[in-house]
Amino acid sequence: MSINLTGASPLQSEINSAFWSSQNYPELTINIVAGKANPAKAEGFTLNASRLGAVIDATIGVADEGSFRYALNALLQWINSGSALISLDDGPDFAVRGVVEGFYGKPWSHQQRLRALKLFGDYNMNTYFLAPKDVPWQRFNWRALFDVNFLTLTQELIHMGDLNAIDITICVSPGLSVKYSDQADVMAVVGRYKQLFDLGARHFGLLWDDIAWELSHPEDIAAYVSTAAAHADFTNRVWAELMKLDSTLQLTMCPMHYSGRGNEPYLVELGRELHARINLMWTGRSICSEYLDISDAVIFERTTMRPPLYWDNFPVNDGSMQKSLFIGPVRGREVGLQKYSAGLLSNPMLQFEMSQFPLFTIGQYLWNTASYNPDQSWEDALVHLVKDEIDRTVLRAFMRTSMGTVVGGDPAPDLRGVFRKGVTAWRKGELQIAGDIFISAGHEMVANHDYLLSPNFSRPEIIAEISMWLEKYLIGAEVLVGLGQVLKRCGFDSGRGCISGTEKEISDLGALTERLQAHRKNLFGDQIEGPINELMAELGS
């Protein structure tokens, strides 16, 4: 592959080299001319390209250097389409688009974060908030300056972010022990921000989530009429110090009351007192909101006098949700929400690899809400993230037994089809046919399970994350086979139009459901247990 770039800035040249280093098109010669343009949208680009044989000629125009990365994404997509020409003026809907690593539990590793920045660039995102709950520097040891090792790793993240048009935001969460009235605590936070500023960071996070609602220090109780007043005052003083460094810096605050109707008294007071340029995060109606819609965003903006910057708790699975994988596409986010929002950051799962599938779909939603199609986006994610077709087919079959989303969608759509066909057969008294349907589906799942655990599957890092769910998957496969065998032993009472059997069949079915329930991971929704319980009831009648 030959890549020839002219007219680019030094940063765009670096972006270009990093982008094509991970691609493999040995037969192509790609000539790119970079220049200035005035795209229709902020952070947008213009792209004109043609193909003649193995030669690609492209012209990219941007107003912001980093948008060159998004144009390369569009160029590559067009190359893969096989089309001869493209003329495009495109740009994102949401101003802030990205990820907040803000979950409880084991944080992502540094190497995973470096990989994440490349992937987030692929998804046309532009922001990565680093705010892992269970690391000492985030919430417990926040008064100390960052050590040399942390700063070295952060410098690597910032550089990788620059190559992929991703802004790195390191957050501080002082709320567990802060004294709001103490200027020394303000300066402790600012001291960290100054270290990050020197590395090139220009966006900072100050988080007051998941802390005590009451003021605890006597000095604070004497100084403030409420916790909201304390939060506003402390944050404003941090902001004032940041403005001494650079008046273009951004500060985003997560309030203590971060979910609900958006008109709570805390938010009313906070919005009134907080500097107008400070972003406020919000998770929507619930901590894990089924939907994010315009009407709620309007209430929040009227209350706080600024649009929400969404901390979207999908696909996060920390705390009590660790039994589940939320690997389906994002749903329930309204078309046009960007007009009433400062941006949206997704809080991912503890499982880095599996998080990438829903994050891909989130990136597509944030880029263009009107054209976003959840199911097609999810299929696109599979193609982008799993290159081998056989690997992709087998992994897809497993993933479609755990399509967990906060709203809408079927957790196990393929199994629903199996049960629809099998139950229809047993309702007609075709018990041998019904049994074979379930046995065949179970055997197919066993084969999938074995392939995923074999050396033939090219993504062992994925398997390491889902090993416990693969155990449940194999149990489900064996339960389907058992269900089919029980059905084939049953009789059919044509007079009553129902299945007949003995206590042995009921006992065997009960044992199958107990096997499923004994495993602590969630899979299949209610696709298997529900029909088996119904069959047991029918046999018992």
Q: How far, in Å, CA of 358 to CA of 405, rounded?
A: 9
Which DSSP state fits 346? E
Q: Are 249 and 195 a contacting pair, CB within 8 Å? A: no
* Angle made by CA atoms 417, 422, 428, in degrees to the nearest 5: 130
Whether the pLDDT of residue 85 is over 70: the answer is yes
What is the C-alpha end-to-end distance of the chain, expressed in Å? Answer: 70
Name which of 186, 176, 190 is nearest 146 in CA terms: 190
pLDDT (tens digit per residue) in 288-327: 999 999 999 999 999 999 999 999 999 999 999 999 999 9
Fold classification of 96-385 is TIM Barrel (3.20.20)
CB atoms within 10 A of CB 522: 17
Q: Are 438 and 487 a contacting pair, CB within 8 Å? A: yes
E strand or H helix at 380: helix 374-385
Q: What's the average model confidence in pLDDT over 121-127? A: 98
* Angle made by CA atoms 395, 399, 405, in degrees to the nearest 5: 155
Q: How far, in Å, CA of 395 to CA of 391, rounded?
A: 6
pLDDT (tens digit per residue) in 39-56: 999 999 999 999 999 999
pLDDT band for position 497 (cuts 50, 70, 90):
confident
The two structure tokens encoding residue 492 = 């059919």
Whether the pLDDT of residue 114 is over 60: the answer is yes
What's the mean per-residue pLDDT of the chain?
96
**For residue 372, with 0-12 CB atoms within 10 Å meaning exposed, 13-18 middle and 19 or more buried, which class applies?**
buried
Buried b (16+ CB within 10 A) or exposed e, 175-214: beebbbbeeebbebbbebbbbbbebebbbbbbbbbebeee
Whether the pLDDT of residue 481 is over 90: the answer is yes
pTM: 0.96
pLDDT band for position 405 (cuts 50, 70, 90):
low
Q: How far, in Å, CA of 493 to CA of 508, rounded?
A: 20
Whether the pLDDT of residue 406 is over 80: the answer is no
Q: How far, in Å, CA of 28 to CA of 49, rounded?
A: 14
Domain boundaries, the chain: 2-90, 96-385, 413-540
The two structure tokens encoding residue 428 = 């007609």
Name which of 347, 377, 374, 351 is nearest 459 in CA terms: 351
CB atoms within 10 A of CB 149: 8
Q: HSE (CB half, 13 Å, CA atoms) of 358? A: 30
Amino acid of residue 346: S
The pLDDT value given to residue 408: 62
CATH of domain 2-90: 3.30.160.230
Name which of 287, 280, 284 is nearest 305 in CA terms: 280
Q: What's the average model confidence in pLDDT over 278-286? A: 97
Q: What's the average model confidence in pLDDT over 516-536? A: 93
The pLDDT value given to residue 206: 98
Whether the pLDDT of residue 175 is over 60: the answer is yes
pLDDT (tens digit per residue) in 357-401: 999 999 999 999 999 999 999 999 999 999 999 999 999 999 998
CA dihedral 510, 514, 516, 520 (to 10 degrees): 160
The pLDDT value given to residue 417: 93
pLDDT (tens digit per residue) in 208-259: 999 988 999 999 999 999 999 999 999 999 999 999 999 999 999 999 999 9
Question: How remote is the C-alpha of 211 from its chain's centroid?
Answer: 25
The pLDDT value given to residue 541: 76
